Chain A
Amino acid sequence: GAVVSQHPSRVICKSGTSVKIECRSLDFQATTMFWYRQFPKQSLMLMATSNEGSKATYEQGVEKDKFLINHASLTLSTLTVTSAHPEDSSFYICSARQGEGYTFGSGTRLTVV
């Protein structure tokens, strides 16, 4: 079946630094990928839709300059959390549509100290 690989699985960074998270579709091409954020014991909140070769579409309330998304190829989308702060600590998950269903990466636990 379709596999989406997400790296890193965990990252700890200092406040003020930037962190890049990668999401790769391993055996299919994904023109569109989705980035979600999940706080502990809460649901997934869609942050943005990543479109290959064009600008990402951000959900209301999500700062595009804070969360930079690049989708330069049909198999890779990246999310960069810029100038990270402790409140950015969260679980970030990407997904891609495959047929009628969606395949999710294994998530990235970001801790900003």
Chain B
Amino acid sequence: SQQGEEDPQALSIQEGENATMNCSYKTSINNLQWYRQNSGRGLVHLILIRSNEREKHSGRLRVTLDTSKKSSSLLITASRAADTASYFCATEEGAQKLVFGQGTRLTINP
């Protein structure tokens, strides 16, 4: 079953702008992870934030987690054409399995 929802479902911005994607979930989690998927390819792990963390950075990525609102956001700064992809949040439940959100299709226009 799907854990939650992401918004927006699709986002199109100009190269150089920042992109923000949001994810909501429903149950208690161990951690929340963000993945990128290029069209027709497998998933690439971007960043993991634990349930006791509120913010995490990795290069141009910034992830926040609000467990009281059961939500997370992924910010990509200074976007590049190569960032065009689908982005998924996923939560790890107690059974050590990932449950994915619906995803955001991000398009960076040159």
B100 nearest CB across to chain A (Å): 5
Alpha-carbon gap, A91 to B42, bound state (A)? 10
Contact A44 B40 (CB under 8 A): no
If the complex has contacts A43-B103, A44-B88, A46-B97, are A104 and B42 also in contact, measured as CB distance less than 8 A? yes
Contact B98 A106 (CB under 8 A): no
A-B residue pair count with CB separations less than 8 angstroms: 52
Would you call the interface of chain A mostly helix, strand, loop, or mixed? strand
Q: Which of A32, A45, A102 contacts B45 (CB 8 A)?
A: A102
Give me the interface of A with B, judged by CB distance under 8 Å: 6, 32, 34, 41-46, 49, 59-60, 91, 93, 95, 97, 100-107, 109
Asked if B48 lies at the interface with its beta carbon under 8 angstroms from chain A, I say yes
Contact A106 B41 (CB under 8 A): yes
Contact A46 B98 (CB under 8 A): yes
